[in-house]
Structure 1
Amino acid sequence: MKLDTLWRLGAWLAASLPNRCLLCHLSIPAEHTGLCDTCLASTLYQGPVCLGCGRGLLQESGFCGSCQRADTLAVVAPASYHHGLGSVIAAIKHRQQLAPLDVLCLLLWQRAHRLSLLGLIQLPQVLVPVPLHPKRQRSRGFNQAWLIAAELARYSGLPLDDNLVSRCLDTRPQEGLDGKARRRNLANAFSLNRPCPWQRIALVDDVVTTGATAREIAALFRGSGVAVQVWCLARAEAPGLLSEVLPD
């Protein structure tokens, strides 16, 4: 059986099955996509978090003291990767389970918009998806960061620029590597295709763990006055960090 026939058969089978939440597996209304309201609400941040490290804060203030001193990149995410979304995001990336993508992107845009209204971030002028190496993209068939950026562009009205940054090295996957190994793995992995015409950009990815990818790309803009922030579906902060609530 040909691959395209198998794909169509799989799509037909998925469409014929009852619509169920990917987390609790209970039936959900047809208009919902991938996650029930209860599971979705349980995955979201329940209080303010530091945009730099993901640590819990007593009130919305952007960055904790340590991240303010370190001039850390702002990471905008609606939820913690460890609060249920890990398996959902992994399924988007590795099994092409795209059902929850729409609602997660909407929540990400709502989070960014709220932070801008609070004066904690300045909205970017453009969305830049973190690129895959062409070999990796051919193997996977799509770039999940591009899909996320496209949904965000639809909600926000911001333009999408997918020709600004390229991945020039086919590095090994980041999963399973510690922070130091991630940084070594990504050294010189990205390049700018042309001078950046924007003053504020948002790098878009599915998840941020150590931030090594974002920092490597942000370094390309260092010295040209471009302000970089990161937008992702979930933040994989260090274990236990979110529960260490600190005053601002």
Structure 2
Amino acid sequence: MSLLSTVKAELAALLDLLFPQACPLCRTELTPASAAGLCHSCQAQLPELSSPRCSRCALPFVSEGGSDHLCEPCLRQPPPFSQVEAVGNYEGLLRDAVHRFKYRGTVQLDRPLATLLAERMEQAETPFRPDLIVPVPLHLGRLRQRGYNQSLLLARQLAKRWRVPVAPRQLVRNRPTPPQQGLSLSVRQQNLRGAFAMTAPLQGETVLLIDDVMTTGATLRECARTLQSSGAGEIVAAVIGRAQRHH
């Protein structure tokens, strides 16, 4: 370890001693064992991704029992991504965490949420390690209003963990879209058609597409379609929360 690295490590240890880290959700003091950046109590309350669910888009089915299988939308219109990974169902404390991260400026949730997502992907039967990580972009007007792109913050944490490049400006949102809440998948897709563009082509790279929440999947479908048409190889989508049913 270099002298600079040693000094940085010692300063970090001193800061932790003087100002102990707290869980960003409940403010409980974190222990050294809280590797994910959340206290054990909050981690235990996060809803797991339900099964059975769609083997392509991870949509949890309402009925209990049975094995994972394709949902009707994925059978009728296969998405451009090969699969979706998620931390858990978009409900309870996980929904609250995403709202704090996305709307209330609690940007320090980027590392804990990205860590949970990374751990889930690393524990999968067939771990996916991309060549490139691409965040779902915000339109410039929305970015100015919010001040940050939550998907980019997550992407940067994953890129740091896996030492994989992140492309923050290769996929852009070239026009705003109307509010999507309460709309069907087909209507959302119509609203999003042509909303994204690439600033540079790809050459067969495997891509991890990052967003915070997936509901109908229209945004991820359109982003993946844009990446695919620009030369991307396999595309896997990853989100923090997966809504339980299409709206």
**If the length of structure 1 is used for normalisation, what is the TM-score?**
0.74
- The residue number in structure 2 matching 1:235 is 242
Paired residues, what number? 220
Alignment of 1:47-196 (within 5 A): 48=51, 49-51=53-55, 52-55=57-60, 63-64=69-70, 69-70=75-76, 71-72=78-79, 73=81, 74-115=83-124, 118-119=125-126, 122-196=128-202
Q: Aligned to 1:231, what secondary structure does the other structure show?
A: strand
- The residue number in structure 1 matching 2:30 is 29
Q: Which runs of 5+ in 1 are unaligned?
A: 1-15, 240-248
CA gap 1:164/1:170 in 2 versus in 1, 3 angstroms: same
Identical aligned residues as a percent? 28
Query: CA separation in 2, counterparts of 1:141 and 1:225?
Result: 29
CA gap 1:35/1:113 in 2 versus in 1, 3 angstroms: closer
Larger displacement relative to structure 2 (159-168 or 216-225): 216-225
- 1:105-127 superposed Cα distances (whole Å, 9 cap, x missing partner): 11101111222xx13x6432110
Alignment of 1:8-19 (within 5 A): 19=22
- 1:94-141 superposed Cα distances (whole Å, 9 cap, x missing partner): 1111233212111101111222xx13x643211001111112111111
Q: CA deviation at 1:59?
A: 8.7
**Residue among 200, 208, 211 paired with 1:202:** 208
Query: CA separation in 2, counterparts of 1:68 and 1:172?
Result: 24
Query: CA separation in 1, counterparts of 2:205 and 2:23?
Result: 43
Query: CA separation in 2, counterparts of 1:208 and 1:46?
Result: 12
Q: CA deviation at 1:155?
A: 1.3
Q: Aligned to 1:79, what secondary structure does the other structure show?
A: strand
CA gap 1:68/1:130 in 2 versus in 1, 3 angstroms: closer
